[in-house]
Amino acid sequence: MAHRSRLTIAWLAALLAVLVDPIGIRSAPAQVFNPESFTLSNGMQVVLIANHRAPIVTHMVWYKVGAADEPPMKSGIAHFLEHLMFRGTKDVAPGDFSKIVARLGGRDNAFTSYDYTAYFQVIARDRLEDVMRLEADRMANLALTDAVVDPERDVVREERRQVVENRPHARLREQMQALLYLNHPYGRPVIGWDHEIANLTRADALAWYGTWYTPSNAILIVAGDITAEELRPLAEKYYGRLKGGQVPPRLRPQEPPPQAARRVELKDARVRHPTLTRLWLAPSYTAGEREHAYALQVLSELLGGAATSRLYRTLVIDKQLATSAGTWYEPDMLDLSSFGLSANLRPDADMRALEAAIDAEIERLLKEGIEAEEVERAKKRMRAAAAYARDELSTGARVIGTALATGQTIADVEAWPERIAAVTPAQVIAAARHVLRPERSVTGLLLPEPSS
Amino acid sequence: MSFRIFTIRLVAIVTLVIATVAPSSAVEIEQVKSPGGIEAWLIRDRMVPLVSMHFAFRGGAATDPAGKTGRAEMTAQLLTEGAGDLDSQKFAAMLEDRAISLGFDAGHDSIQGFVKTLNEHRDTAFDLLRLALTQPRFDTEAVERVRAQTLAAIARDAENPETLARRTWWATAFPDHPYGRPVRGTVETVTSLQPNDFRDFVRNRFARDNLIIGVVGDITPDELGPLLDRAFGDLPARSAPIDVPEARFMGDGRTTVVNRTVPQSVMVFGNDGIKRNHPDWFAASIVNYILGGGGFNSRLMTEVREKRGLTYGIYTSLVALDHAGLVLGSSPTANARVAQTLDLIRAEWRRMKEQGPTAEELADAKNYLTGSFKLQLSSSMSIASMLVAIQYDDLGIDYIDRRDALINAVTIDDVRRVAGQLLDPARMLTVIVGDPAGLAPDESGAGGPATSPATPAQGG
Closest CA to A35 of A8, A65, A60: A60
A86 Cβ under 8 Å from any chain B Cβ? yes
A307 Cβ under 8 Å from any chain B Cβ? yes
pLDDT of residue B459: 28
Distance CA A75, CA A203 (A): 14
Distance CA B353, CA B417 (A): 9
Give chain B's residues under pLDDT 50. Answer: 1-25, 444-460
Contacts of B370 in chain A (CB under 8 A): 105
**Contact residues for B376 (Cβ-Cβ < 8 A; gap 6+):** B17, B19, B382, B383, B386
pLDDT of residue A19: 29
pLDDT one-digit tens code per residue, B341-357: 999 999 999 999 999 99
Check A82, A159, A374, A414 and give the catalytic one. A82
Closest CA to B282 of B369, B353, B349: B369
| Count of A-B CB contacts under 8 Å | 245
Hey, are the CB atoms on B374 and A3 less than 8 Å from each other? no
The DSSP string of A142-188 is B---HHHHHHHHHHHHHHHIIIIIT-HHHHHHHHHHHHH-SSSGGGS
Hey, are the CB atoms on A387 and B306 less than 8 Å from each other? no
Residue from A85, A391, A447, A449 to probe the interface with B (highest B Cβ count within 10 Å): A391
Contacts of B144 in chain A (CB under 8 A): 320
Q: Using the 8-state DSSP alphabet, how is residue A286 labeled?
A: S
Q: Is the pTM of this model over 0.80?
A: yes
The DSSP string of A311-323 is HIIIIIIIS--EE
B44 Cβ under 8 Å from any chain A Cβ? no
| Helix H or strand E segment including A220 | strand A218-224
B9 Cβ under 8 Å from any chain A Cβ? yes
pLDDT one-digit tens code per residue, A34-88: 999 999 999 999 999 999 999 999 999 999 999 999 999 999 999 999 999 999 9
Residue in A16, A98, A152 closest to B297 by CB: A98
A377 Cβ under 8 Å from any chain B Cβ? yes
Distance CA B352, CA B291 (A): 7
Distance CA A171, CA A239 (A): 40
pLDDT of residue A21: 29
Hey, are the CB atoms on B10 and A16 less than 8 Å from each other? yes
Three-state DSSP at A299 gives: helix
Distance CA B54, CA A286 (A): 40
- Pairing state between β A7-8 and A107-112: parallel
Query: Could you tell me if B304 and B334 are in contact, meaning their C-beta atoms sit under 8 angstroms apart?
Result: no
Distance CA A282, CA B169 (A): 45
Confidence of residue A361 (pLDDT cuts 50, 70, 90): very high
Chain B closest CA to A385's CA: distance in Å? Answer: 6
Window from A13-22, A391-400, B79-88, B166-175 with minimum mean pLDDT: A13-22
Confidence of residue A438 (pLDDT cuts 50, 70, 90): very high
Distance CA B335, CA B146 (A): 36
Q: Does residue A327 have a pLDDT over 80?
A: yes
Hey, are the CB atoms on A158 and B312 less than 8 Å from each other? yes
Query: Could you tell me if B117 and B51 are in contact, meaning their C-beta atoms sit under 8 angstroms apart?
Result: yes
Hey, are the CB atoms on B4 and A53 less than 8 Å from each other? no
Query: Could you tell me if A31 and A418 are in contact, meaning their C-beta atoms sit under 8 angstroms apart?
Result: yes
Hey, are the CB atoms on A393 and B379 less than 8 Å from each other? yes
Work out the average pLDDT over A115-142: 98
Residue from B2, B15, B162, B370 to probe the interface with A (highest A Cβ count within 10 Å): B15
Distance CA A180, CA A174 (A): 10
Distance CA A175, CA A181 (A): 10
Hey, are the CB atoms on A107 and B374 less than 8 Å from each other? no
pLDDT of residue B10: 27
CA A389 vs CA A26, A397, A415, B241, B380: distances in Å: 10, 11, 14, 41, 11
Distance CA B139, CA B91 (A): 13
Residue from B117, B379, B381, B404 to probe the interface with A (highest A Cβ count within 10 Å): B379
Chain A closest CA to B260's CA: distance in Å? Answer: 9
pLDDT of residue A450: 76
Closest CA to A20 of A325, A321, A311: A325
Chain A closest CA to B239's CA: distance in Å? Answer: 30
Contacts of B159 in chain A (CB under 8 A): 270-272
Single-letter amino acid, residue B265: S
Query: Could you tell me if A148 and A94 are in contact, meaning their C-beta atoms sit under 8 angstroms apart?
Result: yes
pLDDT one-digit tens code per residue, A223-235: 999 999 999 999 9
Q: Does residue A334 have a pLDDT over 70?
A: yes
As a whole number, the mean pLDDT across chain A is 92
Closest CA to B201 of B240, B147, B243, B143: B240
B209 Cβ under 8 Å from any chain A Cβ? no
A82 catalytic, yes or no? yes
Hey, are the CB atoms on A52 and B311 less than 8 Å from each other? no
pLDDT of residue A451: 59
Contacts of B99 in chain A (CB under 8 A): 381, 384-385, 387-388
Query: Could you tell me if B392 and B211 are in contact, meaning their C-beta atoms sit under 8 angstroms apart?
Result: no
B120 Cβ under 8 Å from any chain A Cβ? no
Altogether, the residues listed in chain A come to a count of 452
Residue in B12, B45, B141 closest to A53 by CB: B45
Three-state DSSP at A208 gives: helix
Contacts of B88 in chain A (CB under 8 A): 307, 317
